Structure formats: structure tokens, C-alpha cells
Amino acid sequence: MTLWPEEYEGLRDEARAMAQSIVEMMGAVGGSTAVAVDRDERVRGQRDMMRALEVKSPAGADQEIAGVPCRVFRPAAPARAIYLHLHGGAMMLGSPLLNDAGNADLCERFGVAVVSVDYRLAPEHPHPAGSDDCLAVARWLVEHGESDFGAARLLIGGESAGGYFAALTLLRVRDELDAIERFLGANLVFGVYDLSGTPSVRGARPSDVPDILSDDLFTFVNECFLPGLTSDECKVATISPLYADLHGLPPALFTVGSADHLLDDSLFMAARWAAYGNESELAVYPDGIHGFNGFPMELAKRANERIDAFFERVLG
């Protein structure tokens, strides 16, 4: 099994140096439980850090869809499709503004409308509140997307927690809306798919490069997002999509770096996606950390070009 082209080996040094710079600049998302910090105080601190990364694009508009606040981008010409985007942030942090510039660029270059969901966050709103918000917007787009945006075809995707919510939403669209055929593809970027914790989440990573995620982060995420549940109780399809019946899902591109704590989530999910008879494309980037494709380096450029190629292919 070859996870990346041989030519990527020559790009490792740049990725490792960039990772060190990023971690020094940002610290580890989630912090450490070695220091006793009140749960809400810890969340507030992380939210403040994430807000500093948000940049609002003048091309977007705030719009409430199905009672859920969203950021919406409309192309100048009739939309080729609608991209349902779900932002990252460990189910507790962030907003669509984290991806405003990227979503504006996607809308302009590919001629797709983009709807990015400002779903409810834990710990104030634990599971399934965020998933319910994503499904409500998906339902509205299935029913009204063609009349409002001029396109009946849908795409879905997201980064980190957004990849998680994208996978859950696809399963619920299939099972609750019976509308999975409307989705052309899924862009799943370093998502989390097993909330019981894969080996890499627990720190068993094949790279010694420092990551922006901490080893203890998902223990804290589960305390906030899935309060009171044991690890084994998280091994159900409604919580961890890795355990779901994955039949009948659209083509998916899984993007992840080998130094990411969520490496195994993409490795396992991509394999199961294919085992259930779906089109599955796995793109792994050596020594790429969590969020690596948002930083100026050659591996990020290669990853984003491959995502672009996936969009163009599924759009037809």
C-alpha cells in the first residue's frame, strides 16, 4: 500500500518546519488537563483563540435557513450546485467565518453556491444539537435549493469537526430524508469519525512532528459534546459514523496528514467507505499536521489542488 507519491518525500522538511512554527504560534488546541482549569473557562479561552482566526468576506451574506444561521455565497451565474459546508472546531469552537475567504473563492472559481452552517456548539448544546442543525439546513436545501439557488444538485464537506458533521449529515439524509441521490460528493478534510478514540487520537502517531491537537483533547471534547457517555457507548452509528452502515453514499475524498491526531479516522473511514461499495479517494500527506492545508507550503498546495480536482470531477 502506497499512501503518497514518492515525490512527496522531498517535501517533508518544509512540512516539519512549518508544523513547528504553527505549534509555537498557536499552541495546542484543547490545551492540557495537567493544569486544573474550569471547563467553561477552558472553552472560552479556546473560542477566543479561534475568533482571532476569523475573517469576514464581503462576498458572503448572513442568512437564516430552517431557523439556523448560515453564511451564504451566491455565484454571479446560475449555480452549478450547492455546497453545504460545515466548519471545524472540535464541536465546541469556531464559526463559518473560519472558512469565509475559502468559501468565497470556491463560489467564484467553481460557480457553486455555498451554504456554511453556524450549528450549535457544545457544551451549551451537546450532541445531537449540532447534527440536528446540519440536517435541518440539508433538508431545506433538498426541498428549496433549486427554487432559491437555481440548482438541485448538492455537495457536502467540512474540516475536522465539519468532516464529522458532514458524514453524519449524509447518513441522516439517506436514512431520514431518502434524498442521498441529490449529493454528488463529499469533501471530508481531516475529519473525526470515531468518538471512542482511534489509536492516533490517543497519541499513537507514525510521525514525531508536533501537532496543534493535544493528546487529551478528545477526552475533553467528549466531556463537553457527549457528557456522561463511556468510550464504548460512543461506538454507535448515531455518534460515530465509522460504525454506520455506509451503503449507498456519494463519492468521497478523504484528506489528512500523517502527523495529524485524526490520521486513523481518515484511514479507517476511507477503507470502510470503499468496502461498502462507494467511491473512496484517500489523500495522505507525510508529516502534515491537523489543518496543514491552510498554511503556505508545497504539500498544502498539492492537497488543495487535489481537492479542486475532486470538485471539478464530481461536478462534471
Q: Does residue 254 sit within a domain?
A: yes
CA distance 213 to 225: 17
Grid cell locating 274:
470503499
Residue 33 has a pLDDT of 42
pLDDT in tens, 50-103: 898 899 999 999 999 999 999 999 999 999 999 999 999 999 999 999 999 999
Residue 34 has a pLDDT of 40
CA distance 132 to 109: 30
CA distance 132 to 138: 10
Q: Which residues pair with 158 in a beta bridge?
A: 86, 188
Q: Which of 256, 252, 311 is nearest to 281 (CA)?
A: 252
- Cβ proximity of 253 and 310 under 8 Å: yes
pLDDT in tens, 177-234: 999 999 999 999 999 999 999 999 999 999 999 999 988 888 999 999 999 999 999 9
Grid cell locating 236:
454507535
CA distance 86 to 159: 7
- Domain CATH for 108: 3.40.50.1820
Q: Does residue 25 sit within a domain?
A: yes
Which residue range is the domain that position 49 belongs to? Answer: 6-315
How many structural domains are present in the chain? 1
Residue 255 has a pLDDT of 98
**Sheet of 82-86, strand order:** 61-65, 68-73, 113-117, 82-86, 154-159, 183-189, 252-257, 280-285
Q: Does residue 298 sit within a domain?
A: yes
- Cβ proximity of 269 and 254 under 8 Å: yes
Residue 27 has a pLDDT of 66
CA distance 233 to 236: 7
Q: Does residue 297 sit within a domain?
A: yes
Helices 39-51 and 217-225: crossing angle in degrees, nearest 10, is 110
- Cβ proximity of 91 and 121 under 8 Å: yes
CA distance 129 to 239: 12
CB atoms under 10 Å from CB of 120, counted, come to 18
- Cβ proximity of 187 and 103 under 8 Å: no
The average confidence (pLDDT) of the chain is 95
| Sequence-separated (6 or more) residues with CB below 8 Å from residue 41 | none
3-state DSSP call for residue 124?
A: coil
In this prediction, residue 135 has a pLDDT band, given cuts at 50, 70 and 90, of very high
Q: Does residue 224 sit within a domain?
A: yes
3-state DSSP call for residue 285?
A: strand
pLDDT in tens, 15-39: 999 999 998 887 655 444 444 478 8
CA distance 199 to 221: 16
Residue 28 has a pLDDT of 55
- Cβ proximity of 70 and 137 under 8 Å: yes
Q: Does residue 1 sit within a domain?
A: no
CA dist 138 → 7, 128, 135, 177, 294 (Å): 39, 15, 5, 9, 26
What is the largest distance, in Å, between two alpha-carbon atoms of the chain? 54
The conformation of residue 251, written as its DSSP 8-state character, comes to P
Q: Does residue 133 sit within a domain?
A: yes
